[in-house]
Amino acid sequence: MKVLKFGGTSVGSPENMRAVMNLVTDGEQKIVVLSAMSGTTNSLVDIANYLYKKNKDTARIFIGKLEDKYKQVVEELFTSDDNKKKGLQVVHEAFTTIKSFTSGTFNLVGENTILAQGELISTNLVTLLMNENGHRTKLLPALDFMKIDEDKAADLHFIRDNIKAVFQKIGEADYYITQGFICKDANGEINNLQRGGSDYTASLIGAAIDADEIQIWTDIDGFHNNDPRYVENTQKIEQLSFNEAAELAYFGAKILHPQTVLPARIQNIPVRLKNTMNPTDGGTLITSDSDGRGIKAVAAKDGITAVKIRSGRMLMAYGFLKNIFEVFEKYRTPIDMISTSEVAVSLTIDNTLNLNKIKEDLGKFGTVEVDEDMSIVCIVGDIIEEEKGFASKVFNALDGIPIRMISYGGSRHNISVLVPTVNKKETLQTLSSKLLNH
Ligand code: ADP
Ligand code: ASP
Ligand code: MG
């Protein structure tokens, strides 16, 4: 069985929802993972933020606007009065839940429950639509099997066991629809796989059922060799290895949630990226093979903070790095890049939740400097094969860019440079013209 995920734009209007229905109903049994309609999760985040700020009146205005939008969607989506009524009931239930948080104190459970409503609405509406059009379709409730643990890591064992049970409970259908993004956490509360997480849902389900293929359908024809939001004339890549795709996704290529590739790689399930607006295009195929050598693509990840610890005690001493790493471990803060000299170590983090405590603890080992608003630009490909002169090619291309850190040699798939975010666009553009499209 295949797992197909459709993103926000792909289900962004009644017309697009119908296009998705026509695409998936080819007689082959499948699981379809849906995001919320485009713009919905952003609106729900805004609503939650107003509630946190106790700005309840503004929250109510935005809730009302969003509800009106969905009533219009229902009106346009269904033909029969009976289904229009059922569609309105779906919308009514979701908005009753959202409105219930406009009184009393607001907390994380409220926020996560509000954020979940977008996927709950889109999946219920598309399931109704498909049945109205004679396609035997059932809803697989993601909250009954998608789970994260205390460390917010997906619990694949739980997902595998419980999706089986849910299949048995709901019985046979030609098409199964489920919610991307949403899950339960270790406390049994509604939670999510972070923004863009529907891709990750699809790969987790793919791994859990040992799918033949995981397809991520979106609004572009596949993985491009640079970020089309910042660079013109980017080109589609036909094929990527799991490792290359994982590095690109982790380092900011928005087309894939950072963790999407991992479950697919473990089970060796091909991942195909496809364009909902141009379904006959082959898209990008991600497998264990790497075709071709050299540089494939670049990507950038924003919101990076660089931390530098300088200490005379580091000179000729062992145990220094261990002490430094222990601080980050203590505050559960992952490190992305690292670079050392005899007297200093620089590293980068993107989670600054405990930065002040980290700084305080690191202060015991030396002088600490922090640089915010940085971006990691990551150059990915089968790089080791690129003979001599590779590094100089990259550095020549980056001539004039203020590079703050470099990581080279950690993996054969990745060279990363740290630049101030204000220089990110320029960095991506110069890499495109001098390294990728020459
Ligand atoms: P969806 O809502 O379908 O999940 P996303 O907006 O999350 O879609 O991802 C698709 C978008 O990712 C594209 O429209 C494009 O602007 C952006 N993007 C960023 N980097 C890349 C890349 N390297 N290749 C393709 N698209 C990219
Ligand atoms: N709807 C969620 C978001 O906008 C998840 C997703 O679309 O992948 O982040
Ligand atoms: Mg996405």
3-state secondary structure the chain: CEEEEECCCCCCCHHHHHHHHHHHCCCCCEEEEECCCCCHHHHHHHHHHHHHCCCHHHHHHHHHHHHHHHHHHHHHHCCCHHHHHHHHHHHHHHHHHHHHHHCCCCCHHHHHHHHHHHHHHHHHHHHHHHHHCCCCEEEECHHHCCEECCCCCECHHHHHHHHHHHHHHHCCCCEEEEECCEEECCCCCEEECCCCCHHHHHHHHHHHHCCCEEEEEECCCCCECCCCCCCCCCCECCEEEHHHHHHHHHCCCCCCCCCCHHHHHHHCCCEEEEECCCCCCCCEEEECCCCCCEEEEEEEEEEEEEEEEECHHHCCCCCHHHHHHHHHHHCCCCCCCEEECCCEEEEEECCCCCHHHHHHHHCCCCEEEEEEEEEEEEEEEECCCCCCCHHHHHHHHCCCCCCCEEEEEEECCEEEEEEEHHHHHHHHHHHHHHHHCC
Decide if 19 is inside a domain. yes
Average pLDDT, integer, range 326-342: 92
- Cα separation, 94 vs 45, whole angstroms: 15
Q: Is residue 113, in this structure, part of any structural domain at all?
A: yes
- CATH number, domain containing residue 125: 3.40.1160.10
In a domain, 223, yes or no: no
Q: How far is the CA of 19 from the centre of ligand 2 (A)?
A: 19
Amino acid at 249: A
Q: Is residue 361 part of a domain?
A: yes
User: What's the whole-number average pLDDT of the chain?
Assistant: 94
Beta bridge partners of 369: 308
Supply 329's token pair: 């471990």
Question: Quick check: is 267 in a domain?
Answer: no
Residues 28 and 177 in one domain: yes
Kindly state whether residues 73 and 183 are assigned to the same domain. Answer: yes
Which structural domain, as residue segments, surrounds residue 404?
Answer: 296-436
Ligand 3 centre and the CA of 358: distance in Å? 32
Spatial distance between the Cα atoms of 182 and 194, rounded to a whole number of angstroms: 9
Contact between residue 334 and residue 368 where contact means Cβ atoms under 8 Å apart: no
**Which atom of ligand 2 approaches the CA of 38 most closely?**
4
Q: Are residues 308 and 175 both part of a single domain? A: no
Residue with the smallest CA separation from ligand 2 atom 5 is: 196
Tell me the pLDDT band of 320, cut-offs 50, 70 and 90: confident
pLDDT for residue 219: 96
- pLDDT number for residue 290: 77
Q: What is the pLDDT of residues 187-203, one digit of tens each?
A: 999 999 999 999 999 99
Which of 220, 296, 377, 378, when mutated, tests ligand 1's pocket best, judged by the most ligand atoms within 8 Å of its CB? 220
Q: Which of 192, 195, 198, 218 has the most ligand 1 atoms within 8 A of CB, as the residue to mutate?
A: 218
Looking at the structure, tell me whether residues 201 and 304 fall in a common domain: no
Query: Residues 210, 315: one domain?
Result: no
Neighbours of ion ligand 3 (CB under 5 A): 7, 196
Residue 410 and residue 412: Cα distance in Å, rounded?
Answer: 7
CA distances from 362 to 305, 307, 317, 319, 368 (A): 15, 10, 16, 14, 7
* Ligand with minimal distance to 378 CA: 1
Same domain (yes/no): 307, 184: no
Domain final residue pick, 189, 218, 247: 218
Residue 46, pLDDT above cutoff 90: yes
Residues pairing with 213 in the sheet: 2
The residue out of 218, 253, 276 marking a domain boundary is 218
Question: Distance (Å, rounded) from C-alpha 262 to C-alpha 254?
Answer: 16
Q: Mark whether 312 and 212 lie in a shared domain.
A: no
**What number is the average pLDDT over the span 328-352?**
93
pLDDT of residue 321: 87
Q: Is 224 in the pocket of ligand 1 (CB under 6 A)?
A: yes
Whole-angstrom distance, CA of residue 179 vs CA of residue 198? 8
Nearest bound ligand to the CA of residue 217: 1
Instruction: Give the pLDDT confidence score for residue 244 in this predicted structure.
Output: 92
Reported as a single tens digit per residue, the pLDDT across 141-173 is 999 999 999 988 999 999 999 999 999 999 999
CB of 274 sitting under 6 A from ligand 1: no
The type of residue at 235 is Q
Q: Is residue 168 part of a domain?
A: yes
Q: Please state, for a pLDDT cut of 90, what percent of the chain lies above it.
A: 86
Is residue 99 in contact with ligand 1, taking CB distance under 6 Å? no
What's the rounded Cα separation, in Å, for the pair 70 and 90?
10
Q: What is the pLDDT of residue 314?
A: 62
Q: Please tell me the total count of domains within the chain.
A: 2
Q: What is the pLDDT of residues 66-83, one digit of tens each?
A: 999 999 999 999 999 999
> Domain check: are 54 and 193 in the same one?
yes
Evaluate if residue 385 carries a pLDDT over 90. no
Measured in Å, residue 168 CA sits from the centre of ligand 2 at 28
Among 181, 203, 218, give the residue marking a domain's end.
218
Instruction: Work out which ligand 1 atom sits closest to the CA atom of 248.
Output: 23
Which residue of 229, 250, 255 sits with most ligand 1 atoms within 8 Å of its CB, as the best mutation to test the pocket? 255
Average pLDDT estimate for 427-434: 94
Pocket test of ligand 2: the residue of 4, 41, 46, 201 to mutate, having most ligand atoms within 8 Å of its CB, is 41
CA of 361 to the centre of ligand 3 (A): 37
The confidence score (pLDDT) of residue 312 equals: 74
> Do 47 and 114 touch, CB atoms closer than 8 A?
yes
Q: Is 119 in the pocket of ligand 1 (CB under 6 A)?
A: no
Does residue 303 share a domain with residue 411?
A: yes
Nearest-angstrom CA–CA distance, 100 and 60 = 11
pLDDT on residue 436 = 86
Phi/psi region, residue 400 (left: phi>0; alpha: psi -120 to 50; beta: rest), is: left
Ligand 2: list residues with CB < 6 Å. Answer: 7-8, 35-36, 41, 118, 180-181, 195-198
Ligand 2 center to 104 CA (angstroms): 27
Q: 384 pLDDT band (50/70/90 cuts)?
A: low
Note the pTM of the prediction, 2 decimals.
0.94
Work out which ligand 1 atom sits closest to the CA atom of 273.
25
Q: What is the CATH number of the domain that holds 396?
A: 3.30.2130.10
Decide if 247 is inside a domain.
no
**pLDDT score for 435:** 87
Q: Is the CB of 380 under 6 A from ligand 1?
A: no
pLDDT of residue 383: 73
Q: Tell me which ligand sits closest to the C-alpha of residue 116.
A: 2
Looking at residues 106-124, what average pLDDT do you find?
97
The predicted pLDDT at position 326 comes to 95
**Angle at alpha carbon of residue 385, lines to 382 and 386, rounded to 5°:** 95
pLDDT at 395: 87
416 and 322 within one domain? yes
Kindly give the number of the ligand 2 atom that is closest to the alpha carbon of 7: 7
In a domain, 281, yes or no: no
Q: Residue 252's closest CA among 429, 376, 351? A: 376
